[in-house]
Amino acid sequence: MQLSLHPGFSASSMSGYTTSEVSELIGLKPTQVRHFVRRSLIAPARGERGEYRFGFQDVVLLRTAKGLLESKMSARRAMRVLLKVRSDLGDAKGLASVRIFAEGSNVLVREDNRVWEAETGQTQFDFEAQEPARQVARLGDREDLVVVREPDTMDSDDWYNLGLDLEDARSPRARDAYLKAIELNPRNADAFVNLGRLMQLDGDLKRAKRHYERALDLVPNHQLALYNLGTVFDELNELESAADFYQRAPSVPDAHFNLARISELLGDELSARRHMRQYRQLVDVD
């Protein structure tokens, strides 16, 4: 089956993204993209007319740079950290095979089951770095707080909403609230998803998986349950299973970014480009 191209993406872009295309995909200004090139963070190829042609590895690195800047890190430090990580990995391994993320004042790198501090190289224990789980989607993100009634008068939805509020307050009691929501209504799929997410944050992938699967038993096309289940398999480095669940969650932007990353790792450049375009389209809608 022939893939259709997003309007504005020329056929010649199949040999690499242009500056404007990268700007659209990542959400950086073209001047920012060129700034990273001038600072030697990335070294894109050149097209027939001398224009920049960025590869998928460049896109991954630019997205990571944008994420670090959004975490309030200085541009100078973000540049230094990313240059070091790229140097440490060498040419044999691509940046698509690792995760780079801010954890408090540190920048951590995860590759398979190993996590290390980017600037010092010091290895971290898994429980100190939960970045993949932090990308797991949570249902019901909200700013307002519900007025809590007497427990005896609260129904399943009330307990679910209380769980959201307790999560916002970083209270460990959020899990109990979701459990109560499920006790009162065993068909509350959203409570199963958020409870599974908390278990995944704690590193309990087996129980998280079971709760996501229970949500899917209740609502087979539950997009966040499908996406979150994909992240479980992603953490287990079972990429084929992860990709299958990401494919079934087309409304979740990060599902497409993760599919682009997996496609790149598998050498499927066409699919990587297609999912990057879909990722950006959904981000623009949001």
Are the C-beta atoms of 195 and 136 separated by less than 8 Å?
Answer: no
* Number of domains making up the chain: 1
Give the DSSP letter string of the chain: -PPPPPTT--GGGGG-B-HHHHHHHHT--HHHHHHHHHTTS---EE-TTS-EEB-HHHHHHHHHHHHHHHTT--HHHHHHHHHHHHHHHTTTS-GGGSEEEEETTEEEEEETTEEEETTT--EE-GGG--HHHHTS--TT--S--PPP--GGG--HHHHHHHHHHHHHTT-TTHHHHHHHHHHH-TT-HHHHHHHHHHHHHTT-HHHHHHHHHHHHHHSTT-HHHHHHHHHHHHHTT-HHHHHHHHHT-TT-HHHHHHHHHHHHHTT-HHHHHHHHHHHHHHHHH-
| Residue matched to tokens 């700007």 | 23
125 belongs to a structural domain: no
| pLDDT for res 92 | 46
Which bin fits 164, alpha (ψ -120 to 50), beta or left (φ > 0)?
alpha
pLDDT of residue 60: 79
User: Is residue 111 a part of any domain in this protein?
Assistant: no
**96 confidence band (pLDDT: 50, 70, 90):** low
Domain membership of residue 182 (yes or no) is yes
Report whether pLDDT(14) > 50: no
- Is position 104 within any domain? no
Please check whether residue 184 lies inside any domain of the structure: yes
Helix (H), strand (E) at residue 45: strand 45-46
- Contact yes or no for 15/47 (Cβ under 8 A): yes
Q: What is the pLDDT of residues 162-196, one digit of tens each?
A: 888 888 777 788 899 999 999 999 999 999 999 99
Inside any domain, residue 271:
no
Tell me whether residue 166 is in a domain. yes
pLDDT (tens digit per residue) in 125-165: 554 444 444 456 666 544 333 444 556 778 999 899 888 88
| Domain-located, residue 51 | no
CATH code assigned at 204: 1.25.40.10
Output the pTM of the full model.
Answer: 0.63
Q: Identify the pLDDT of residue 182.
A: 96
Domain ranges, residue 208: 151-249
